[in-house]
Structure 1
Amino acid sequence: MDINWGLIWPLIGLQIILAVTALISLYKAEPEDIRGSKLMWVFIILLISIFGSVAYFVAGRKNT
């Protein structure tokens, strides 16, 4: 099976950019501005790949 790295590298880059952006946002957020604990969101962002970062932006932050 031949892997097409031309398609995989952009996805890896997107995953890294989303994770770093989510972690920076989480770091700067006040505890009352997020749902759940910061530690829980760090694990979700890092362990659930792209979906963890998206979940943080969609469900983790409270609308202020």
Structure 2
Amino acid sequence: MIGVWQIIILSLVGVFILSTLLALIDILKNEFPRNNKIVWIHVVLLGSFFGAILYFLIGRNQKIKHYHK
């Protein structure tokens, strides 16, 4: 039988994995200046959850914005 602590741990692991995947998808879908895309991929992969948090706090502002008329 699954207890409360197992549910909490599984939920946290799910959040960690989901945040990492969302950060990687966002990085791969967008353009960055110079080699920033490669750098952010490494930060997220090596830093896992904390790398994803860093990307969402800092890296999203570095994306190249395309304006459509």
Task: Give the TM-score normalised by structure 2.
Answer: 0.70
What percent of counterpart residues are identical? Answer: 36
Partner of 1:54: 53
Deviations 1:40-63, CA, capped at 9 Å, x for gaps? 111111111211101001101227
Q: Which residue of 2 aligns with 1:23?
A: 24
**Would you say 1:12 and 2:10 are equivalent positions?**
no
The aligned residue for residue 44 of structure 1 is: 43
Q: TM-score by structure 1 length?
A: 0.74
Distance (Å, rounded) in 2 between the aligned partners of 1:49 and 1:5: 21
Rg larger in structure: 2
Gaps of 5+ in 1: none
User: Alignment length, in residue pairs?
Assistant: 59
Give 4+ residue runs of structure 1 displaced > 2 Å after superposition: 4-7
SS across alignment from 2:58: helix
1:18-60: CA deviation from partner (whole Å, max 9, x where unpaired): 011101100111123xx96211111111111211101001101
The residue identity in structure 2 corresponding to 1:62 is: N
